[in-house]
Amino acid sequence: MELEASSRPRVPAVMLSEAAIKLMADVFGHRDLFRELPRIQHRTVLWGSQAEPVVLPHSAVVVSEKILLDHIRPAIPIAAVPRPSEWEIFSSRPSPPGAAEQRFGTRTARAYSVELNTAGEPGCWVESAEDGWLFLIGSEDSTGSLLCVGGVCGAPLEGSRLIAKQIRYVHAPNGEFPAHPRIMIPLCGCAEDRRWLACGTAALAFDPICGDGTAHAVREAVLAAAAVRAISNGESADHVFAHYESRLTAGFHRHLANCIGFYRSGGDGPWWTAELHALERGLAWCAERLARFPPFRYRLNGFQLEAVA
């Protein structure tokens, strides 16, 4: 199996829920994955017309993308992928041949390293603004990572009532990237007698407001491996491809539905209205596309696709 490194910029900080950690621990066989890291036990939210911040229970760890990959890469069973010369798996951009990206929104994000006013337990803060939203993760050593989405990117703390109080100094931005949901179509196919599948950021890109992108990428990879194995074992490529594409489209539809509530309640200005309409357009697009697929022919049992009786 040949692996090709991607030039995609690394994410400075990834917050993983307990459910995401358990999923990765099961998939990669790491029973104690990230158990040694301190947990974020609460998040503080100031959203929409809310007069005062609300403190909610939470349980998550924060790692850099490099640390995340270093923990899971040694356990990847490269040799277990059957007949790899017939397949190409896209897990990040550039796009697969003949594929086109559907975008639902225009919002971008900037990431900043920050210094906090106080040290203490790790925590996170979320705040909506007139034309965007802010997300702050703080560590025990009084450093943190600030994500700004929308029009707040240029002056992230201007007008902030919650997050500005936590920050002593904001460093130069680490980079800017799209923060609106996107899906590649098609998600699988054949090109020059070579079958291919897209998963991860090559297939779907999620809005960071829901925080489920990493876990979903793992599920996509499991399904992609099962699809390759099923076709290599004699299942119809057309049937498996239809199942793979419909499953990922259904997952993308659920993500858009989860985002809708945040954008309906975050604000009522032009920015919020435009991004909400884009999400609603995405929901309609997914529903129309899902209606074209036949009922699911397979179910996932561990790492295997089984035909539904």
pLDDT tens for the chain, 309 residues long, are 444 555 555 566 788 889 999 998 998 888 888 888 888 889 999 999 878 999 999 889 888 778 888 777 755 555 444 444 588 888 887 777 788 999 999 999 999 999 999 877 788 999 999 999 999 998 888 889 999 999 988 889 999 999 999 999 999 998 889 999 999 999 999 877 789 999 998 999 999 998 778 899 899 999 999 999 999 999 999 999 999 999 999 999 999 999 999 999 999 999 999 999 999 999 999 999 999 999 999 999 989 999 987
Two tokens at 173? 């931005």
Q: Is-contact 179 107, C-beta < 8 A? A: yes
Question: For residue 49, what pLDDT is reported?
Answer: 81
Phi and psi (nearest 5°) for 168? -95, -35
Place of tokens 């639902």: 104
- Residue ranges covered by each domain of the chain: 83-106+180-309, 110-178
Confidence (pLDDT) at 1: 46
- Listing DSSP states for 230-295 in one string gives HHHTT--HHHHHHHHHHHHHHHHHHHHHHHHHHHHHS--SHHHHHHHHHHHHHHHHHHHHHTTSPS
Amino acid making up residue 199: C
Strands 123-129 and 167-178: unpaired
Whole-Å CA distances, 36 to 32, 124, 125, 182: 8, 19, 23, 34
Residue 66 has a pLDDT of 80
Task: State how far the Cα of 257 lies from the Cα of 235, in Å rounded to an integer.
Answer: 33
Task: Yes or no: say if 163 and 134 are a contact pair by the CB < 8 Å rule.
Answer: yes
Distances in Å between the alpha carbon of 232 and those of 44, 83, 308?
A: 49, 7, 18
Please check whether residue 156 is in contact with residue 171, taking contact to mean a CB–CB distance below 8 angstroms. Answer: no
Q: What are phi and psi of 111, to 5 degrees?
A: -110, 135
